Structure 1
Amino acid sequence: MIYSFWIFDRHSECIYSKEWSEQPTYGAANTHHSHNASISSNHSFGSNQGSVSSSRRASRIEGIPSVNTSIHPVAKRNREDDAKLIFGAVFSLRNMATKWAGENGSDSFVSFKTNKYKLHYFETPTNLKMVLLTDPSRPSLRDALHDIYVNLFVEYVIKNALSPQEFSAANPIDNDLFNNGVDTYIKGLA
């Protein structure tokens, strides 16, 4: 299942987002269980290709009350806050993966996985950051993000003479061909 797709510009602003179904809940349902998280990066140690996976356990912090999700449904989340959280996670994890990878680590962060979701990441040559949130069982969708960039974003947004040259949170991507193309492509992956 694919939950959502996000595009961030080089200034860390969310310029496009689309959701297909409800995100997994992050509240009280699992506060009594440990959460697993793993970071996948793409770099080599003496070979041409390799991957590194790091796991870290985080447990419930005592003394912090849990949120009752039946009173505060996920649908009432603030989209701006979601965008900030996603970008913050991507920024931090990408920096860690790049530092671990050394000199050739500019393309080292590929995905982040928890027991609730998997974040797939692709960065374009112009520093656009594309993020897909999926269920954790999904294999890497980095190639799908590359396809969306090359076949949809470049074709329908960049090459569109009527499209603005810069986007921002106040002026996000609003292109019907791109929206429909992304929707069709993502539904084809499901």
Structure 2
Amino acid sequence: MTIHSLYIYDRHCACVYYQDWHRTRRPKLAVEGGIMPAVSQAVSAHPAEINQPSLSTAGSTRNTLSSGSGAAASDSPSPLLQTPVSAASALMTSGPITSTGLSFDEEAKLVYGVILSLRNMIRKLSGRDEQFVNYRTSAYKLHLFETISGYKFVMLSDPNTDSLRFVLRQIYVGPFLEYVTRNPLVSMDSTERGIDNEYFRSSVDRLVRGMSIFA
């Protein structure tokens, strides 16, 4: 069993964060203007310097993302990051990486469209109290956790994986609240910028890789 990728959507239906692990078929780079800055430079059309440092590094380091892996890096490596994402990213896949044929902005829209359609269908067929939490195909399983504020955490995993909704909730109550919500340098509910920053990406990576189902 393994975990493929993580998407975070805001209440405006926009993908504000992306990270992947075991993916042998990745989307093409997003078209110019297709996604907001600071979502993931691994899929950005024009990787650029991140001007949104986390709270504890404001004014001291310049935070960037590796264009090849979406991994976090900085001019002055922080002692808090004992396992750099860039080093671990080399182990994400076993074998050549191929393309899905879709650009990332198209893929992100398709993922959100599936969630919206299935959620609406479940509410109409089963009542408003019924929740959509996951669905499975022969190739993957999609897990959903939605916050009261409208953020949607979506994870794709191996189809035989048990529900990972608790993992998405851990990401929300842990790294998300700590490095995004409580960080005054992150523009929440923005229609112009994503939420990616060095400590959030590294913390999510450590949390996911520390799970027993991660292979």
Distance 2:24 2:148 in 1: 29
Residue 21 of structure 1, CA deviation = 2.3
Contact 2:7 2:155 survives alignment (8 Å)? yes
Which deviations, in whole Å up to 9, do the C-alpha atoms of 1:42-62 show, x marking residues without a partner?
Answer: xxxxxxxxxxxxxxxxxxxxx
Equivalences for residues 72-91 of structure 1 within 5 A: 73-74=98-99, 77-91=102-116
Q: Which has the higher strand share?
A: 1
The aligned residue for residue 180 of structure 1 is 202
Contact 2:25 2:100 survives alignment (8 Å)? no
The aligned residue for residue 4 of structure 1 is 5
The aligned residue for residue 22 of structure 1 is 23
Contact 1:111 1:121 survives alignment (8 Å)? yes
Q: TM-score, normalised by structure 1?
A: 0.69
Partner residue of 1:97 out of 122, 138, 144 = 122
How many residue pairs get matched?
A: 141
Which deviations, in whole Å up to 9, do the C-alpha atoms of 1:62-116 show, x marking residues without a partner?
Answer: xxxxxxxxxxx326531101101100000001111122221423xx101010000
Letter in 2 for 1:172: G
Contact 1:24 1:116 survives alignment (8 Å)? no
Which deviations, in whole Å up to 9, do the C-alpha atoms of 1:135-174 show, x marking residues without a partner?
Answer: 1010000011011001111111000112112234x51112
Letter in 2 for 1:136: P
> Larger Cα Rg: Structure 1 or Structure 2?
1
Equivalences for residues 13-162 of structure 1 within 5 A: 13-22=14-23, 73-74=98-99, 77-105=102-130, 108-162=131-185
Letter in 1 for 2:200: F
Contact 1:4 1:20 survives alignment (8 Å)? yes
Q: SS at the partner of 1:122?
A: strand
Distance 1:180 1:104 in 2: 35
Q: SS at the partner of 2:163?
A: coil
Letter in 1 for 2:5: S
Q: Which runs of 4+ in 1 moved over 3 A?
A: none
Letter in 2 for 1:10: R
Pairwise CA RMSD: 1.9
Q: Give percent identity, aligned residues only.
A: 39
Q: TM-score, normalised by structure 2?
A: 0.61
Distance 1:121 1:21 in 2: 19
Contact 1:3 1:23 survives alignment (8 Å)? no
Distance 1:4 1:84 in 2: 15
Structure 2 unaligned runs (5+)?
27-97
The aligned residue for residue 164 of structure 1 is 187
